[in-house]
Amino acid sequence: MDGLMVEFNESLPFDRALYKADIQGSITFAKGLRQLNLLSENELVQVIQGLESVEKEWDEGKFVIRASIDEDIHTANERRLAELIGASIAGKLHTGRSRNEQIATDMRLWARPKLAELAAVMKELLGVCAARAKSEIDIVMPGYTHLQRAQPIRWSHWLLSHATFIMGDLKRLEGVQERIESCPLGVGALAGNSFGINRGFLASDLGFSTIHPNSLAAVADRDFVVEILQWSSLMMAHLSRLSEDLIIYSTAEFGFVSVADAYSTGSSLMPQKKNPDSLELIRGKTGRVMGQASGFLSTIKSLPSAYNKDLQESVEPLLDCVKTSFHSLRIILGVLSTLKINPNRMKSALTADMLATDVADYLVMKGVPFRETHHIAGSVVRKAEELGVSIAEVGLGDLKQISPLFDSDVAHVFDFEKSVERRSAQGGTSRASVLAQISAIEAFLAKQGNSL
């Protein structure tokens, strides 16, 4: 081939990451060949020992790649096996097997432990959120909509709002994990294995729960890659939103939180600056992961049946997206574990106008329809603006001119702690509601086998 075409065609520079999975699949396939007497017992032993030696070379960084010969991880491993045990025996390993089924199997085998690692760090992250929410439950801060101060909430309630998204991501990941457990090995290039290999044995030996039911579909099936990319996109979107909040809260204008030095950088010009680059990188890498998902969907949307070389484009996005997602989760775990909060700044940011809804609720309890109380509370806000005071400082006389239902007990409305405690319905920001949310996360983790 043309020299540039060789480089353009080869995948070993990236699919070498699949070497363990490829060797694992080859050992299982060799066992399947032994069951058919296509390998003798002695040949099987030599193949397995040879493959284990190849794996050790990869592990120790001693595997020597032969340029222009080792096109991909499959040919590289088989070439080295032949050098170690002889071509006459190594050449039997590929009997009835195609690289089409190999790569489909390798990618699933590679993804399985990687998804387990993602699940593990997400459980750890949920544990940190629950522990912080419990220990910092007394801290009250402004809650925002449209980035405008809205109502007082507990800091723990804000933290648990993000934990709720993460818990949803973890539940969705379980579904993705289930759907990679379909073994394509033993389907040949597209039409099936001509030697009647026992696919049930291959699947069982590799730890798959099911057998891919159709050989033509099996070699072309990258739905599990799409699912992982799409799952990662949504999970990263949630991390990006969390990061955005923390970036805003860490500014001097807010000062609610301070990101630890271990997850910050300085400015090359301004010595006073401390930049939350860890969070900004998560926010930026989210776009990268989303792009991989949409890009690969575009790749497969018009492919004809069975394997096409376009599918080589499934490997790099999968490897990169899983790595990026894992690193992002580890970083956000570190940020939240070391984050310093400033309760005084949060408290000082609370203003009486955030209790306008509580004023409306006060009148509701006196029998006034909410739509009317909403209008009355708006009048109280306007009156405070006219007087140049907060709504808590509007005199009772002025309040009675707006509505005769106001009485001296209205003073009890202007208390931030009481305001959050009034939000006591399930999922609210009261102490009891927040503790119930924490308990739900702890119970979920305990069920997952990761009790706090």
Catalytic residues: 146, 267
Q: Spell out the residues 6+ positions from residue 208 whose beta carbon is closer than 8 angstroms to its own.
A: 108, 181, 182, 183
Query: 30 and 197 in contact (C-beta within 8 Å)?
Result: no
**Burial classification of residue 35, based on how many CB atoms lie within 10 Å of its CB (0-12 exposed, 13-18 middle, 19 or more buried):** middle
Q: Please count the helices (runs of H) and the strands (runs of E) in the chain.
A: 19, 8
Consecutive H or E run containing 282:
helix 277-300
Collapsing DSSP to helix, strand or coil, 354 comes out as helix
Consecutive H or E run containing 258:
strand 257-258
Length of the chain: 452
**Burial classification of residue 178, based on how many CB atoms lie within 10 Å of its CB (0-12 exposed, 13-18 middle, 19 or more buried):** exposed
Q: How far is CA 399 from CA 14, 404, 409, 410, 416, in A?
A: 71, 8, 12, 10, 20
Nearest CA among 179, 183, 12 for reference residue 101? 183
Query: 246 and 339 in contact (C-beta within 8 Å)?
Result: yes
Phi, then psi, of 156 in degrees rounded to 5 = -60, -35
Residue 280's identity, in one-letter code, is E
**Burial classification of residue 95, based on how many CB atoms lie within 10 Å of its CB (0-12 exposed, 13-18 middle, 19 or more buried):** middle
Sequential DSSP letters for 359-388: HHHHHHTTT--HHHHHHHHHHHHHHHHHHT
Show the tokens assigned to 227: 């699912």
